[in-house]
Structure 1
Amino acid sequence: MHNRIIHGIAGSFIIISLILAMYVNINWLWLAAFVGVNLFQSSLTQWCLLQNILNKLGVKNTGSGSCGV
């Protein structure tokens, strides 16, 4: 379940960031960069903050891996 939630949130943040960059201010691209850097960091360290947050919220993890990968 974490896998689907994490990918959904990351994808939503990137799409929202791109839309805001197009219509509001180009600096919203920093949000997309932040999401990308966090995904890259979690692939190297096997630690994901969002996964920890989901665990504390009581969301069951049906898969394995960091950040749903």
Structure 2
Amino acid sequence: MRLNEWLRLIAGVFVLGAVLLGATVHPYYNYFAAFVAANLIQSSFSGWCPMMALLRRLGVQE
């Protein structure tokens, strides 16, 4: 997998996990889902995403 596929996979797992935890454990987990969504929105405008920087450091191919 390449960088964009990894990013989509990680974001999807984080959001799905947060929504499931928010529905079963505590509603405050939904704030984590909102944080991930806000980060995706800001990265679409700025072109910079912290997870992409981390994945690049880990050697994921672009």
Q: TM-score, normalised by structure 1?
A: 0.85
Q: What is the CA-CA distance between 1:48 and the residue it aligns to?
A: 1.1
1:43 is matched with: 44
Structure 2 residue identity aligned to 1:23: T
Count of residues in correspondence between the two structures: 61
Structure 2 residue identity aligned to 1:28: Y
Cα distance in 2 for partners of 1:18, 1:42 equals 21
Q: What aligned pairs does 1:25-64 form with structure 2 within 5 A after superposition? A: 25-61=26-62
Q: Structure 2, unaligned stretches of length 5 or more?
A: none
Q: Structure 1, unaligned stretches of length 5 or more?
A: 62-69
Q: TM-score, normalised by structure 2?
A: 0.94
Cα distance in 1 for partners of 2:54, 2:39 equals 14
Could you list the runs of 4 or more consecutive aligned residues of structure 1 that deviate by over 6 angstroms after TM superposition? none
* Identity, % of aligned positions: 36
